[in-house]
Structure 1
Amino acid sequence: MTATPSAGCAHAVTERGEPERADYRGAFAHAPLPLAVVDGEGLVVDANQAFAALVGAPPDELAGRVAADLVDLASDARTWHTYREVLRGRQADLRCTRRLKHPDGHSLWARITVSPMPGSADRDGGGTVLLAAADISARRELQARLRHVQMHDPVTRLPNRNLFFERLAAALEAGAYDDSSTGRVGLCYLDLDGFKAVNDTLGHRIGDRLLAAVAERLTRCADLAGHGRTAPPLVARLGGDEFALLVEESTGTEELAGLAEATLEALREPFDLSGQRLSVSASIGVVERRASGATATGLMQAADTTLYWAKTDGKDRWTLFDPERNAHRMTRQTLSSSLRPAVDRGEFVLDYQPLVGFDDEDVRGVEALVRWQHPQFGLLTPNRFISLAEEDGSIVQLGCWVLRTACRQARRWQLAHPEREPVFVSVNVAVRQVWDSDLVADVAGILAETGLPPRLLQLELTESAVMGSTGRPLQALKALSEMGVRIAIDDFGTGYSNLAYLSRLPVSALKLDGSFVRGFQYEEGETQGNPADAVIVEAMVQLAHRLGLTVTAECVETAAQATRLRRIGCDTGQGWLYSRPVAADRISVLLGEVNPGPESPKEPGVRPSAGRTRPR
Structure 2
Amino acid sequence: MSRPAKGIPEPRRRHLGLAAAAGSDTARGTRHGDGRDAFALAWADAVVGTSYVSMSRTEVEEHLRGLTDRLAEALFTEPFTADAARQVGAAMVGAHFTGTETLNRTIALVADELPLRLGLDRSTPWRLSALQGALAAGYAEALRQRTLDEQEAISQAVFVARDQAEQALRVSEARFRAVFAEAAIGMGIADMDGNILDANASLLDMFGYSLEELTRRNVRDFMHAEDAASVWRLYDELVSGQRDHFRVEKRFERSDGEVIWTHLTASLIRDDEGRPTYQVAMIEDVTDRHLLQDRLRYQALHDPLTGLPNRALFLERLAEAFDSAAEEDRIGLCYLDLDGFKVINDSLGHDVGDQLLVAVGQRLDACVSAPGRLVARIGGDEFIILMERSSSTRDVVAIADHVLAALEAPIRVREHELSISASIGLVERSIVGTTPADVMRDADITLYWAKADGKAKWALFDPERNAREVARFTLSTTMPAAIERGEFYLDYQPLVRLCDGQVVGAEALVRWHHPEFGLLAPDRFIGLAEETGQIVPLGRWVLRQACHQARLWQDRFGSRAPFISVNLAVRQSRDPGLVADVAKILADTGVEATRLQLELTESAIMGTADEPLDALRALSAMGVRIAIDDFGTGYSNLAYLRHLPVHELKIAGSFVEGLRASASDGSHVVDARIVGTLVSLAHALGLGVTAEGVETADQARRLDDIGCDSGQGWYYARPGPPERIDHILSDVR
Q: Same fold by TM-score, threshold 0.5 exceeded?
A: yes
Q: Structure 1: 5+ residue runs without aligned partners?
A: 1-12, 596-616
Q: 2:338 aligns with which of 185, 192, 206?
A: 192
Q: Which amino acid aligns with 2:648?
A: A
Does 1:22 find its partner at 2:174? Answer: yes
Does 1:583 find its partner at 2:721? Answer: yes
Residue 686 of structure 2 corresponds to 548
CA contact (8 A) 2:222 2:253 kept: no
- In 2 relative to 1, CA 449–43 (structure 1 residues): closer, same or farther, beyond 3 Å? farther
Which protein, 1 or 2, shows the higher relative CO under an 8 Å CA cutoff with sep ≥ 6?
1
Q: Which amino acid aligns with 2:184?
A: P
Q: TM-score, normalised by structure 2?
A: 0.69
Does 1:327 find its partner at 2:467? Answer: yes
Q: State the alpha-carbon separation in 1 of the partners of residues 170 and 443 from structure 2.
A: 75
CA contact (8 A) 1:396 1:433 kept: yes
- In 2 relative to 1, CA 126–569 (structure 1 residues): closer, same or farther, beyond 3 Å? farther
Q: 1:297 aligns with which of 429, 437, 442?
A: 437
Q: State the alpha-carbon separation in 1 of the partners of residues 230 and 485 from structure 2.
A: 60
Q: Which amino acid aligns with 1:413?
A: W
Q: 1:109 aligns with which of 244, 258, 261?
A: 261
Q: State the alpha-carbon separation in 2 of the partners of residues 122 and 585 from structure 1.
A: 108
Does 1:484 find its partner at 2:623? Answer: yes
CA contact (8 A) 2:368 2:375 kept: yes
Does 1:342 find its partner at 2:491? Answer: no
- 1:57-96 residue pairs with structure 2 within 5 A? 76=228, 94-96=246-248
- 1:25-174 residue pairs with structure 2 within 5 A? 25-35=177-187, 48-54=200-206, 76=228, 94-113=246-265, 131-173=281-323
Q: Which amino acid aligns with 1:447?
A: L
CA contact (8 A) 2:227 2:250 kept: no
Q: Deviations for 1:594-615, whole angstroms, at most 9, x for unmatched residues?
A: 18xxxxxxxxxxxxxxxxxxxx
Q: State the alpha-carbon separation in 1 of the partners of residues 402 and 637 from structure 2.
A: 51
The CA RMSD measured in Å over matched residues stands at 3.6
Which stretch shows the higher mean deviation, 340-349 or 581-590? 581-590
Residue 89 of structure 1, CA deviation: 11
Residue 106 of structure 2 corresponds to none
**What SS is found at the alignment partner of 1:268?**
coil
Residue 94 of structure 1, CA deviation: 4.6
- In 2 relative to 1, CA 105–458 (structure 1 residues): closer, same or farther, beyond 3 Å? same
Residue 325 of structure 2 corresponds to 176
Q: 1:246 aligns with which of 363, 377, 386?
A: 386
Q: Which amino acid aligns with 2:698?
A: A
Q: Deviations for 1:309-354, whole angstroms, at most 9, x for unmatched residues?
A: 3333332232322222222112111111111111112111211111
Residue 51 of structure 1, CA deviation: 3.5
**What SS is found at the alignment partner of 1:417?**
helix
Residue 573 of structure 1 corresponds to 711
Residue 270 of structure 1 corresponds to 410
Residue 384 of structure 1, CA deviation: 1.0
Residue 427 of structure 1 corresponds to 566
Count of aligned residue pairs for this structure pair: 570
Q: State the alpha-carbon separation in 1 of the partners of residues 693 and 539 from structure 2.
A: 23
Residue 351 of structure 2 corresponds to 205
Q: State the alpha-carbon separation in 1 of the partners of residues 636 and 215 from structure 2.
A: 104
**What SS is found at the alignment partner of 2:732?**
coil
Q: Deviations for 1:180-216, whole angstroms, at most 9, x for unmatched residues?
A: xx61111222233323333344433333333333333
Q: 1:259 aligns with which of 396, 399, 415?
A: 399
Residue 606 of structure 1 corresponds to none
Q: TM-score, normalised by structure 1?
A: 0.82
**What SS is found at the alignment partner of 1:97?**
strand
- In 2 relative to 1, CA 563–74 (structure 1 residues): closer, same or farther, beyond 3 Å? closer
Which stretch shows the higher mean deviation, 141-150 or 383-392? 141-150
Does 1:557 find its partner at 2:695? Answer: yes
**What SS is found at the alignment partner of 1:529?**
helix
**What SS is found at the alignment partner of 2:580?**
helix
- In 2 relative to 1, CA 94–565 (structure 1 residues): closer, same or farther, beyond 3 Å? farther
- In 2 relative to 1, CA 65–271 (structure 1 residues): closer, same or farther, beyond 3 Å? closer
Residue 467 of structure 1 corresponds to 606
Q: State the alpha-carbon separation in 2 of the partners of residues 221 and 94 from structure 1.
A: 47
Q: Which amino acid aligns with 1:421?
A: R
Q: State the alpha-carbon separation in 1 of the partners of residues 471 and 524 from structure 2.
A: 10
Q: 1:368 aligns with which of 508, 512, 535?
A: 508
CA contact (8 A) 1:336 1:388 kept: yes
**What SS is found at the alignment partner of 2:689?**
strand
CA contact (8 A) 1:172 1:294 kept: no
Q: State the alpha-carbon separation in 2 of the partners of residues 398 and 240 from structure 1.
A: 40
Q: State the alpha-carbon separation in 2 of the partners of residues 565 and 428 from structure 1.
A: 24
Does 1:279 find its partner at 2:383? Answer: no
Q: Deviations for 1:466-485, whole angstroms, at most 9, x for unmatched residues?
A: 22334432232222222222
Task: Determine which structure has the larger helix proportion and give its number.
Answer: 2
**What SS is found at the alignment partner of 2:429?**
strand
Q: Deviations for 1:240-269, whole angstroms, at most 9, x for unmatched residues?
A: 332222211111112222222222222223
Query: How many percent of aligned residue pairs carry the same amino acid?
Result: 51
